[in-house]
Structure 1
Amino acid sequence: MKTFTKLAATIVCAAALVTPGTAHAADLNDPQLKDIAMQLVSSAENSSLDWRAQFGYIEDIGDGRGYTAGIIGFCSGTGDMLDLVRLYRDWQPGNVLEKYLPALERVNGTPSHEGLDPTFQDDWHRAAQDGTFQGAQEHERDRVYFTPAVDRAKQDGVQALGQFIYYDAIVMHGDGWGELDFSGIRRRALNTGARPPALGGDERSWLHAFLDARVWTMKQEPAHENTTRVDTAQRRFLNEGKLNLERPLQWHVYGDYFEIR
């Protein structure tokens, strides 16, 4: 879930190189850690650790972003669903979702379902059985959210937990559009005087400041005002010193208990 925008093509680079030893202990690109990251997001987005079961997920959750769907919450009102369906068309012309491209173009930036109902949800479920569409979802997740977040985090000198914290923030808030996006959260944290390790700061202090800024941002939108995915998950891991997402991980999100051993 994210606000009406696509992720900006560029993210401001750190003013200094990564401090030796700050971001090399673990990398979220490691397949096992990446899978943990996907499970953590899925616990918040879908109340399940089985993120691979979410390719066919689709509903309007009433947040003003139209339909939210797939493994990362692509939204019909924010542009990323449109880009996904365009990619699917390019990879597999004539697929079951291609006919909705004109409607997705019209509703982009709005919560409208015009031109999508009443068949779009059923056709999304049908497309989700196609390995090509599943691959397109993973490609767009990485291109738009995962890779930019992890790259930015590594530039800031934070380890796997911090990389996940950045990723979860971009998933929910997007980037490149204004004060309440990912870069706005990072700026708010910097304005407190906290600094990431790459700029000479303490990693835990920086991540606490970032999470404080994230919580403030979430509370500006009614759809995001429940901050448990930060308070009883990410903050818990940080307080436990699990900077590399060391297992076991135990957390609560929206009242549900989860565990990865």
Structure 2
Amino acid sequence: MALALPALVLGGTPAASAAAPAGAVAPSARVRASAPGLDDPHMKDIAMRLVCSAENSSLEWRRFFAYIEPYDDGRGYTGGIIGFTSRTGDMLELVENYTRARPGNPLAAFLPALRRAKGSDSHAGLGKPFEEAWREAARDTAFQQAQEDLRDRMYFDPAFQQAKADGLRALGQFVYYDAIVMHGPGGDEDSFGGIRKSALAKARPPSRGGDERAYLNAFLDARKKVMKKEEAHSDTSRVDTAQRVFLDNGNFDLRPPLKWKVYGDSYRIDE
């Protein structure tokens, strides 16, 4: 459930002045109210395509239900549309949810191994048979739905709700979502909560009367510092030549056409 937006504040004062006619709405307030956020299905799809460009070098995010790789990056297995991992436990939760919906599915036999792998980069008990079972399960619409449901509950919905509470428009909602996908929803300094805390120490969000551009720049600066701590994320182009491009152009509503680069590859969304 989306949180209600705080009253619009311009320059630290209420948008409607005492001299304004009763019931009048400032033009900027009308523009903001009319622009859809990521709760709009098409805008949400744009966000999924943007994230997929960074996660999978593609805009066709629905192709990646069957994606599974045993990366040597400390996360064990990474798979699915949002990069669920065996180390963090969201992959385990995904397979548990799927098994409740579809008992006897191809992945159910690997639940003990996934439970043992949680918190480590171990591939023990998984390997090629697990990869084959994952790809087989990905043809099942129940597994596809389980991936989308967990993505929304664990990543998309918390990011969207916090962004709305902070008074951010579609770009800020996407910035939060991309950060929570990469860094996780925790509260430590290297997770989404810690990044947001660092940003709040530098700038106020619109919900607190702050400037949206200044706040998002502070958030992206804080995120880059965290990214550079880890070799696997040391390339910060998904911030520098993607999100920062939209911010520099003042495209707070994330309106197409959108042009950006990630890891040197160019992408475009026209609608």
TM-score by shorter chain over 0.5: yes
Unaligned runs of 5+ in 2: 9-28
For the pair shown, the structure with the greater C-alpha radius of gyration is 2
Q: Deviations over 1:92-134 (max 9, x none)?
A: 0100001111110000010000111231111111111111100
Distance 1:19 1:185 in 2: 25
Map 1:153-164 onto structure 2 (within 5 A): 153-164=163-174
1:227 aligns with 2:236: yes
- Report % sequence identity: 59
Which of 156, 164, 184 is 2:194 aligned to? Answer: 184
Which of 220, 230, 254 is 1:245 aligned to? Answer: 254
Distance 1:178 1:230 in 2: 21
Compute the displacement of 1:61 (Å): 2.7
Distance 1:219 1:26 in 2: 33
8 A Cα contact 1:65 1:75, kept in partner: yes
Distance 2:128 2:48 in 1: 30
Compute the displacement of 1:177 (Å): 4.8
Tell me the residue number matched to 1:3: none
Matched letter for residue 235 of structure 2: N
Tell me the residue number matched to 1:35: 45
Distance 1:226 1:46 in 2: 15
Say which SS state the counterpart of residue 66 (structure 2) adopts.
Answer: coil
Distance 1:79 1:120 in 2: 16
Distance 2:198 2:160 in 1: 19
Matched letter for residue 81 of structure 1: M
Compute the displacement of 1:26 (Å): 2.4
Distance 1:217 1:47 in 2: 22
Which of 136, 140, 143 is 1:126 aligned to? Answer: 136
TM-score normalised by L of structure 2: 0.88
Compute the displacement of 1:23 (Å): 6.5
8 A Cα contact 1:23 1:154, kept in partner: no
Unaligned runs of 5+ in 1: 1-13
TM-score normalised by L of structure 1: 0.91
1:256 aligns with 2:265: yes
Number of aligned residue pairs: give it.
246
8 A Cα contact 1:19 1:197, kept in partner: no
Distance 1:91 1:160 in 2: 33
Say which SS state the counterpart of residue 156 (structure 2) adopts.
Answer: helix
